[in-house]
């Protein structure tokens, strides 16, 4: 595992019943970079994110985050699954933002952001509250700290979800189509926050259908189809001059 890679996947396979969703994924994510995963629905993009966070167990291959094997330890060339407590500790290093926000409806924005650092990190409450207030200000929601999710727009809820992920100070941020559940007029406010995170040097992997955003903000773009990475490289190459016919066919439909 190269230390300059925050995340590396090698030969990752995942099957659900008879359907093999990931069929030997290789992916390198340099530290401090933004990698966008694009491709048609059903390509395996979201499944890959869930495997990186060990929300799904892989059937073959290896995934490392921050130099540590995700979900397993290796002995004598064989993988042995970690105990749940060890899995949770590793997962705390990875922030994930979902399509549907997944906020706790009975908690305010501030409470949603402070919950994990308090329970998982066992950080002092005063420090957690200060950090949460700073994060809500960072995502433009300082005035919504005491609002409940039902009182927020979809874009505001997603920005709270981003603040919640940042509160754990993760080494890697995963975004699973963070704008797909939003009305078109709310997409830009979420993408603006993610652009800011990219400028600040956060390591991120994003599943997105926002090709313009990928062209502008990504350091690397990986096109996935049918459970494999068809091709990957700088956005100027993959989006403007793709080598593979499958990539060209997909982009011709979405651009």
pLDDT digits (tens, 9 = 90+) for 121-146: 888 889 999 999 999 999 999 999 99
Q: Which residues contact 1 (CB under 8 A, 6 or more apart)?
A: 8, 64, 67
Q: Is the pLDDT of residue 3 over 60?
A: no
More confident: 88 or 5: 5
In this prediction, residues 18-34 reach a mean pLDDT of: 97
Q: Is the pLDDT of residue 12 over 60?
A: yes
With H, G, I as helix, E, B as strand and everything else as coil, classify residue 3.
coil
Among the listed residues 42, 9, 20, 46, the one whose alpha carbon sits nearest the alpha carbon of residue 207: 46
pLDDT band at residue 2 using 50, 70 and 90 as cut-offs: very low
Residue pair 167/132 in contact by the 8 Å Cβ criterion = yes
- The pLDDT of residue 77 is 81
- The pLDDT of residue 152 is 96
pLDDT tens digit sequence for 37-95: 999 999 999 999 999 999 999 999 999 999 999 999 988 888 889 998 899 888 889 99
Residue 97: both structure tokens together: 């933002």
Residue 64: both structure tokens together: 């490392």
Among the listed residues 200, 6, 167, 13, the one whose alpha carbon sits nearest the alpha carbon of residue 97: 167
pLDDT band at residue 248 using 50, 70 and 90 as cut-offs: very high
CA distances from 55 to 69, 84, 87, 170 (A): 14, 11, 10, 16
Please list the alpha-helical segments (H only) found in 21-124.
45-52, 84-91, 109-119
pLDDT tens digit sequence for 146-162: 999 999 999 999 999 99
pLDDT tens digit sequence for 170-208: 999 999 999 998 998 899 999 999 999 999 999 999 999
In whole angstroms, give the CA distance from residue 43 to residue 58: 16
- The pLDDT of residue 1 is 43
Which helix (H) or strand (E) segment holds residue 173: the answer is strand 172-176
Residue 145: both structure tokens together: 């700290």
- The pLDDT of residue 78 is 85
């Amino acid at each position: 595992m190269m230390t300059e890679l925050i995340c590396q996947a090698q030969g990752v396979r995942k099957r659900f019943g008879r359907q093999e969703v990931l069929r030997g994924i290789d992916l390198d994510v340099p530290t401090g970079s933004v990698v966008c995963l694009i491709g048609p629905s059903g390509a395996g993009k979201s499944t890959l994110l869930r495997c990186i966070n060990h929300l799904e167990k892989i059937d073959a291959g290896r995934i490392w985050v921050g130099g540590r094997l995700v979900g397993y330890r290796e002995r004598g060339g064989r993988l042995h699954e970690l105990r749940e407590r060890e899995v949770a500790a590793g997962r705390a290093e990875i922030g994930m933002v979902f399509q549907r926000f997944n906020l706790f409806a009975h908690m305010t924005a501030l409470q949603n952001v402070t919950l994990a650092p308090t329970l998982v990190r066992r950080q002092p409450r005063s420090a957690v509250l200060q950090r949460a207030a700073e994060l809500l200000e960072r995502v433009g929601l300082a005035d919504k700290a005491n609002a409940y999710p039902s009182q927020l727009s979809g874009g505001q809820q997603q920005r709270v979800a981003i603040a919640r992920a940042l509160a754990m100070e993760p080494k890697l941020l995963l975004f699973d189509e963070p704008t797909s559940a939003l009305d078109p007029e709310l997409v830009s406010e979420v993408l603006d926050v993610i652009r800011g995170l990219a400028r600040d040097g956060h390591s991120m992997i994003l599943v997105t259908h926002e090709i313009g955003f990928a062209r502008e903000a990504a350091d690397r773009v990986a096109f996935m189809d049918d459970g494999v990475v068809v091709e990957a490289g700088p956005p100027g190459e993959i989006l403007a001059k793709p080598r593979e016919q499958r990539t060209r066919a997909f982009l011709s439909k979405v651009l």
